[in-house]
Amino acid sequence: MKLPEEWTAEASRILKSELKRRGVKYSELTDRLAQIGVHENERNVRNKVSRGSFSAVFLLQCLRAIGSEQLRLD
């Protein structure tokens, strides 16, 4: 059974991996989020992703903003 901090670390890893796979920097992610109506500053986005303690809604918004249509959890 995973501890809460293990889940947050996994969430962070997954989103960072998707960003890296697509070559998207935090500044670009912030711009792309704004294009879909999500207004966050780069520092807040960077902190959320680093901590991994973001909501499922934020994860879906980020994935949609970077054009991720599939997500592998293994």
Global pTM?
A: 0.90
pLDDT at residue number 54: 96
Q: How confident is the model at residue 66 (pLDDT cuts 50, 70, 90)?
A: very high
Is residue 64 within a helix (H) or strand (E), and if so which, with residue range?
A: helix 56-65
Whether residue 26 has pLDDT greater than 80: yes
Residue with the two structure tokens 């989020």: 33
The pair of three-digit structure tokens given for residue 54, joined into one six-digit string: 């973001």
Residue with the two structure tokens 């499922």: 56
Cα gap 24→65, rounded to integer Å: 10
Mean per-residue pLDDT of the chain: 95
